[in-house]
Structure 1
Amino acid sequence: MITTLLVANRGEIACRVMRTAKTMGLTTVAVHSGIDRDARHARDADIRIDLGGAKPAESYLLIDKLIAAAKASGAQAIHPGYGFLSENADFARAIEDAGLVFLGPPASAIDAMGSKSAAKALMEKAGVPLVPGYHGEAQDVETFRTAAEKIGYPVLLKATAGGGGKGMKVVEREVDLAEALQSAQREAQSSFGDSRMLVEKYVLKPRHVEIQVFADQHGNCLYLNERDCSIQRRHQKVVEEAPAPGLSAELRRAMGEAAVKAAQAIGYVVRHVEFLLDARGEFFFMEMNTRLQVEHPVTEAITGLDLVAWQIRVARGEPLPITQEQVPLNGHAIEVRLYAEDPDNDFLPATGTLALYRESAAGPGRRVDSGVAEGDQVSPFYDPMLGKLIAWGQDREEARLRLLAMLDETCVGGVRTNLAFLRRVVGHPAFAAAELDTGFIPRHEADLMRTPGELGDAFWQLAGELFVQTEPAKVRGDDIHSPWANRDGLRFGMPARIGMHLQCNGQSRLVRVGTNYRRSELAREPAPSETAFASKLAPTKASRQPKAIRQGRTLYLEWNGELEAVTAFDPIAEVEASHQHHGGMTAPMNGSIVRVLVEAGQHVEAGATLVVLEAMKMEHSIRAQQAGVVKGLFCAEGDMVNEGVVLLEMDEA
């Protein structure tokens, strides 16, 4: 009997599982790292246990601590979420040995299928078409070099135990293979505790279509339609939808039956099978995972099923409640992943405090799965996903328009996100026409990526007017009627004007604002520390009015689709206190130094990797912009560094 469930994960994953568990009457237990003690998933749980540490290797990847937490809390079962240890056979085995229930496949099944390499071998035996590649045991660079030459460049390196783009590298040339392999292995070890890799042909312009398979302990196994996950960046999914646009009933059945056959070959588990689908309708097996995916809500939306509840019931020994013929397919659903990242800077992860976080309103066909709240910290140690927005409609266009409305209503400030980028993707004519493949984003880059530049006069004038209007009134305690406490810009014999220095995105401007407005026009939100209103003072390119939200000393103003943070400053008090190193190369984000490849006095060529920084479980190389000599080195392997910190100083050749 399962009455208490421990969720061995964090973020929106843990929140989603606990929400379903609570509706089923279960007590929920959250584990958290030292820096996640105030995270939303920890706050939402009935019981929470501190694992200590910060990095996953110090907390969420420690099997002994997770088992001890389950026993201490009285949990009878552990749900792994997705990611971390969800496909780790040692974890499943340890849970079984401890007499607990694992809400996932048995260790034997993960041993056979938890590895992408093993999955490919099984598919090959079952006659499912494979992408040409190498998925053997040998992991030395020469083996991969030989395999890549046989396959033909470009090739794709992938972590055998991974997902979500971690430990994945595209290699265009043989000369880049060794470095890419080492980097991918480090990412895989950091994210999954397993550095093993495979290599396969990098297929151009494919669609990424996956089949959700569900099975029980009584021999029943079925597929729950398919999802299209072709819109990707950095090999990570950004937009998912179900069903896959344009997929015929015959092709859906063929792919579904192949996925079920694969599941039955190894045992009855919850899994999904991923395929590459070309323009001719031919599909190739890509990988198989023994867990629910991030994108499972779109499957729930078109079937009306709760897949987490199914997991719990299957773990209890209950049979699946429906047969294959009874699987619903109603309407269409689209999901987008909201990430803390900077699309203007190659989608690098962003960190900081969520000073502003507003989710879209609830309603029919609307769902938000998130793991954060306003005021939360986004750290450099974990995946940067903040949440998911899911829209359902009777058809694809209704779902798309509903999702656009949800994106328009969502507000995030304090941390860079991909929110405006998602709006441009979903609103793009090619997406509306379902012209989908994995090259969608680079092909439409000119439309999807903004070109940051100088903010124009119209922006600064609007920002100034809104900033003045939302300034709280000052009252002097010694003289409540004092005219000097008023901020009305009074000037005798001249129009009333207020001058203020504003800054935004590293730019600043002295703005002079007239004061002929009425404060009664401003709509106040319940929270006394902020003001929100729709501006009527100036139009933008969008047909709707721009959002503007005052939060303390910051005004968040929507401009050209982006929510810009505007603050006032005193130019006299803003004297530069720090001394920047001339020619210094700085950290592009918060993170930890995993490799230092140069030393002071060393000559380097343009493009050479100098330092490797790890953030959000992914590696980022700091490279020399041009040839030169390393004049000074200000970091060491293992150091934690903040964004903007100087890592090394170069003298140009």
Structure 2
Amino acid sequence: MFQKILIANRGEIALRVLRACKELGIQTVVVHSTADADAMHVRLADESVCIGPPPSRDSYLNIHQIVAACEITGADAVHPGYGFLSENAKFADILAAHNITFIGPSGDHIRIMGDKIEAKRTAKRLGIPVVPGSDGAVTEEKEAKRIAAEIGYPVIIKASAGGGGRGMKVARSEADLVVALQTARSEAGAAFGDDAVYIEKYLEKPRHIEVQVFGDGAGRGVHFGERDCSLQRRHQKVWEEAPSPALNAEERAHIGGVCAKAIADLGYSGAGTIEFLYENGEFYFIEMNTRLQVEHPVTEAITGIDLVHEQIRVASGGGLSVRQEDIRFQGHAIECRINAEDPRTFTPSPGTITHFHTPGGLGIRVDSGVYSGYKIPPYYDSLIGKLIVHGRNRVECMMRLRRALDEFVVDGIKTTLPLFRDLVGNADIANGEYDIHWLEKYLAKED
């Protein structure tokens, strides 16, 4: 087991990883920008190192500073959390060159899954169902028209190196396709420095289903069930739950088995999430995230297994702590992402939190790094906390969530708490009848 882990992140995820390390008896080092000097994870860590000014590029994305912090403190491993450098193959390679363990998959696997075209090819080879579309990058208008005609309109054009909805355009006709292709390539080049795009069949009313997987790097793989992340705004997840209200036991077991086998065959090490669009009983691969997900607590709630402990165990060479038959799913869990944003316009709302009170009671968990008097800096993601609720079934979970949201108090800034209080009382949400477009339509009606 590691002696000392450096946590290369901030906010609630840095605190989440720090707690796991302490439970395992591992010394902790956190890095921070000058803007995060008073953050909770900095206060609680065994050691802290300031690595630069507020802008991420000068601090949390500064690989050389983080490696230097490892060498100064003697850290023998790095946990990257999510975001920042968590899916940066170069970072994993540099750590390996310095004999520091990256708590995550190999640089090669990060590279494969970070390229959407190569990821789709790999998924297909591993037996994972994929969306009909181009086999590789599309550069010529004539080729794009041919592919679109073969798979049928509407189609969606996506950036190969993309994410967060950038470089993504829908075309419902051949006339749309020409403009969409040019626009998507332009956006992709500007956002990612790579204008490669590919074409897929556009599904009209899919759900976003993702499967949590783990591999030991030596040919063993397991799945921890699925999460439904269909409630999204601008391709950003807002509400996640497990298990999905849309799947039956047979579908759940089938897609979980497919993903676990794929991870084993790939020789993958650590945590990963295989994401799908799901429509009319069919699953279509979107991408694989080679890191811990923001929404991992809902999986922990229904399995009782600490996924960060599992990450650390696998990275240290201890292998998986469970076999597939050991994993049992109990009850239902929902996570609400609490952001420092105006609940109507979603404009960021940095500032000082004057009062912070979290709900409690059976089945309630709050992952947050903020506190009363904490000043939210304007430089980073607006996520300030996650409310995770677990119940014996979905009805009990929803009732408990309603109560927890009523107890949650954040004063001094605007947050998205009012949005969730509205959602928990909505009939469609109560019945689990929503798709990836539902929330944006709902918000448009409210406006």
Question: What TM-score, normalized by structure 1, do the two folds share?
Answer: 0.63
Gaps of 5+ in 1: 452-653
Secondary structure of the 1:444 match is helix
Q: How far has the Cα of 1:79 moved from its partner?
A: 0.4
- Give the number of the structure with larger relative contact order, counting CA–CA contacts within 8 Å between residues 6 or more apart: 2
Q: Which has the higher helix share?
A: 2
Could you say if the C-alpha distance between residues 102 and 195 of structure 1 is closer, same or farther in structure 2, counting changes exceeding 3 Å? farther
Count, aligned residues: 437
Aligned partner letter, 1:398: E
In structure 2, what is the Cα distance between the partners aligned to 1:144 and 1:341? 40
425, 428, 431: which one pairs with 1:430? Answer: 428
Distance 1:178 1:137, change over 3 A: closer
Asked if 1 retains the 8 angstrom alpha-carbon contact of 2:85 and 2:91, the reply is: yes
2:367 to 362, 366, 369: 369
| Other structure's SS at 2:288 match | strand
Deviation at 1:112, TM superposition (A): 2.6
Describe the superposition over 1:503-550 as per-residue Cα deviations: whole angstroms up to 9, x where unpaired: xxxxxxxxxxxxxxxxxxxxxxxxxxxxxxxxxxxxxxxxxxxxxxxx
After alignment, is 45-54 or 91-100 more displaced?
Answer: 45-54
Q: What pairs with 1:116-135 in structure 2 (closer than 5 Å)?
A: 116-134=116-134
Q: CA deviation at 1:198?
A: 4.8
Aligned to 1:271: 272
1:401 paired residue number: 399
Q: Please, which moves more after superposition, 55-64 or 176-185?
A: 176-185
Partner of 1:77: 77
For structure 2, list consecutive stretches of 5 or more residues without a partner in the other structure. none
Partner amino acid for 1:277? Answer: Y
Q: 1:392 aligns with which of 390, 393, 400?
A: 390
Distance in 1, matches of 2:195 and 2:377, equals 24
* 1:317 positional shift: 1.3
Deviations 1:351-397 (A, max 9, x none): 3332332222x221000011222233333332111111000000001
Instruction: Give the letter for the 2:386 counterpart.
Output: K
8 Å CA contact 2:157, 2:181 repeated in 1 = no
Distance 1:398 1:184 in 2: 44
Structure 2 CA distance for partners of 1:195 and 1:402, relative to 1, 3 Å: farther
Q: Percent of aligned pairs with the same residue?
A: 45
Structure 1 residues 134 and 47: CA distance shift in structure 2, 3 A: farther
Deviations 1:322-355 (A, max 9, x none): 211121100110111011222322x233333323
Counterpart residue identity of residue 93, structure 2: R
Alpha-carbon offset, residue 29 of structure 1: 1.1
The answer to whether the Cα contact below 8 Å between 1:158 and 1:199 also exists between their aligned partners in 2 is no
Q: Secondary structure at the residue paired with 1:157?
A: strand
Shift of the 184–372 alpha-carbon distance from structure 1 to 2, 3 Å rule, reads farther
**1:208 Cα deviation from its structure 2 partner:** 0.7
Q: 1:128 to 1:367 in 2, by over 3 A?
A: same
- Counterpart secondary structure, 1:29: strand
Q: In structure 1, what is the equivalent of residue 347 of structure 2?
A: 348
| Cα-Cα RMSD | 2.4
Q: Is the 8 A contact 2:187 2:195 kept in 1?
A: no
1:175 paired residue among 164, 179, 187? 179
Match of 2:144 among 139, 144, 147: 147
Which whole-Å CA distance do the structure 2 matches of 1:111 and 1:340 have between them? 32
Matching residue's letter, 2:273: H
Show the counterpart of 1:111: 111
- Cα distance in 2 for partners of 1:294, 1:327 equals 21
Which position in structure 1 is the counterpart of 2:6?
Answer: 6
**For the Cα contact (< 8 Å) 1:112–1:266, is it kept in 2?**
no
Q: Does 2:135 align with 1:160?
A: no
Q: Report the CA distance between 1:405 and its aligned residue.
A: 1.2
| 1:421 aligned residue | 419
Q: What SS is found at the alignment partner of 2:424?
A: helix
Residue 51 of structure 2 corresponds to which residue in structure 1?
A: 51
Q: Offset at 1:177?
A: 5.0
Q: CA deviation at 1:202?
A: 3.4
Whole-angstrom CA distance in 2 between matches of 1:378 and 1:183: 30
Structure 1 residue 186 displacement after superposition? 4.0
TM-score, normalised relative to structure 2: 0.90
Q: Secondary structure at the match of 1:51?
A: strand
The superposition leaves residues 120-162 of structure 1 with CA deviations (integer Å, 9 ceiling, x where unpaired) of 0112223433223457467xxx558953784345525346364
AA paired with 2:213?
A: V
Q: In the superposition, relative to structure 1, how do residues 144 and 381 fare at CA in structure 2: closer, same or farther (>3 Å)?
A: farther
Q: Which whole-Å CA distance do the structure 1 matches of 2:28 and 2:431 have between them?
A: 43
Q: Structure 1 residues 77 and 386, CA, compared in 2 at 3 Å: closer, same or farther?
A: same
- Mapped to 2, the partners of 1:44 and 1:144 lie a distance apart of 56
Distance 1:183 1:6, change over 3 A: same
Contact 1:30–1:48 (8 Å) recurs in 2? yes
Distance 1:341 1:429, change over 3 A: same
Q: Contact (CA 8 Å) 1:148, 1:199: kept in 2 or not?
A: no
1:67 Cα shift?
Answer: 0.8
1:359 has 2:358 as partner: yes
Alignment partner, residue 377 of structure 2:
379
Distance, in Å, in 1 between the alignment partners of 2:348 and 2:143 is: 34
Partner of 1:598: none
